[in-house]
Amino acid sequence: MTITDLIYDYKALPIIKDRYPNVKIEDSTDDVHYGRFSVTLEEDVTRWFKFLLKEGMHGISLWCQLAMAKGMPRHQNLIDALHELKKEKSKIALEGK
Protein backbone atom coordinates (compact mmCIF):
# COMPACT_ATOMS: atom_id res chain seq x y z
CA MET A 1 0.00 0.00 0.00
CA THR A 2 1.19 3.52 -0.71
CA ILE A 3 1.43 5.56 2.48
CA THR A 4 1.76 9.33 2.60
CA ASP A 5 2.26 10.69 6.10
CA LEU A 6 3.26 14.04 7.56
CA ILE A 7 6.13 13.99 10.06
CA TYR A 8 6.61 17.02 12.30
CA ASP A 9 10.32 16.81 13.17
CA TYR A 10 13.28 16.83 10.79
CA LYS A 11 15.34 14.86 13.34
CA ALA A 12 13.33 11.78 12.31
CA LEU A 13 14.48 12.06 8.70
CA PRO A 14 17.70 9.97 8.97
CA ILE A 15 15.90 7.23 10.91
CA ILE A 16 13.17 6.97 8.28
CA LYS A 17 15.68 7.06 5.40
CA ASP A 18 17.74 4.33 7.06
CA ARG A 19 14.74 2.00 7.37
CA TYR A 20 13.10 3.00 4.07
CA PRO A 21 15.86 3.92 1.58
CA ASN A 22 13.36 4.37 -1.29
CA VAL A 23 11.12 6.77 0.62
CA LYS A 24 10.04 9.92 -1.21
CA ILE A 25 10.50 12.95 1.03
CA GLU A 26 9.07 16.39 0.42
CA ASP A 27 9.44 19.53 2.53
CA SER A 28 6.05 20.57 3.90
CA THR A 29 7.17 23.52 5.99
CA ASP A 30 4.80 26.47 6.00
CA ASP A 31 4.28 29.63 8.05
CA VAL A 32 2.90 27.64 10.97
CA HIS A 33 4.75 24.28 10.79
CA TYR A 34 8.53 24.52 10.65
CA GLY A 35 10.42 21.25 10.14
CA ARG A 36 7.45 19.36 8.75
CA PHE A 37 7.92 16.96 5.84
CA SER A 38 5.87 14.39 4.01
CA VAL A 39 6.95 10.83 3.39
CA THR A 40 5.56 8.59 0.68
CA LEU A 41 6.46 4.92 0.70
CA GLU A 42 5.20 1.44 -0.08
CA GLU A 43 4.45 -0.34 3.19
CA ASP A 44 1.74 -2.14 5.09
CA VAL A 45 -0.04 0.32 7.39
CA THR A 46 0.38 -1.86 10.48
CA ARG A 47 4.12 -2.25 9.82
CA TRP A 48 4.44 1.54 9.34
CA PHE A 49 2.73 2.17 12.69
CA LYS A 50 4.88 -0.51 14.33
CA PHE A 51 8.02 1.21 13.03
CA LEU A 52 6.84 4.59 14.33
CA LEU A 53 6.00 3.13 17.73
CA LYS A 54 9.33 1.29 18.04
CA GLU A 55 11.27 4.43 17.14
CA GLY A 56 9.22 6.65 19.44
CA MET A 57 7.94 8.69 16.50
CA HIS A 58 4.22 8.06 16.90
CA GLY A 59 3.74 11.53 18.41
CA ILE A 60 5.17 13.31 15.36
CA SER A 61 3.24 11.36 12.71
CA LEU A 62 -0.06 12.82 11.54
CA TRP A 63 -1.36 9.38 10.51
CA CYS A 64 -0.52 7.91 13.90
CA GLN A 65 -2.10 10.81 15.76
CA LEU A 66 -5.31 10.54 13.76
CA ALA A 67 -5.43 6.76 14.17
CA MET A 68 -5.32 7.10 17.96
CA ALA A 69 -8.91 8.33 17.96
CA LYS A 70 -11.29 5.39 18.18
CA GLY A 71 -13.52 5.13 15.13
CA MET A 72 -11.03 6.85 12.85
CA PRO A 73 -9.67 5.12 9.74
CA ARG A 74 -6.58 3.04 10.50
CA HIS A 75 -7.38 2.80 14.23
CA GLN A 76 -7.35 -1.00 14.05
CA ASN A 77 -3.97 -0.95 12.27
CA LEU A 78 -2.53 0.98 15.20
CA ILE A 79 -4.03 -1.49 17.70
CA ASP A 80 -2.59 -4.38 15.67
CA ALA A 81 0.86 -2.75 15.70
CA LEU A 82 0.69 -2.35 19.48
CA HIS A 83 -0.27 -6.02 19.89
CA GLU A 84 2.62 -7.13 17.66
CA LEU A 85 5.10 -5.06 19.67
CA LYS A 86 3.74 -6.49 22.92
CA LYS A 87 4.19 -10.05 21.59
CA GLU A 88 7.78 -9.27 20.52
CA LYS A 89 8.63 -7.85 23.95
CA SER A 90 7.09 -10.86 25.68
CA LYS A 91 9.10 -13.22 23.48
CA ILE A 92 12.34 -11.34 24.24
CA ALA A 93 11.58 -11.45 27.98
CA LEU A 94 10.96 -15.20 27.84
CA GLU A 95 14.19 -15.76 25.94
CA GLY A 96 16.09 -13.75 28.57
CA LYS A 97 17.50 -11.15 26.20
Query: Quick check: 79 pLDDT over 70?
Result: yes
Domain ranges of the chain: 2-95
Summarised one tens digit per residue, pLDDT across range 66-75 is: 888 878 778 8
Q: How confident is the prediction for the chain on average, in pLDDT?
A: 88
Summarised one tens digit per residue, pLDDT across range 82-93 is: 888 888 877 665
pTM for this entry: 0.81
Handedness of CA 81, 82, 83, 86 (dihedral sign): positive
Summarised one tens digit per residue, pLDDT across range 31-68 is: 888 889 999 999 999 999 999 999 999 999 999 988 88
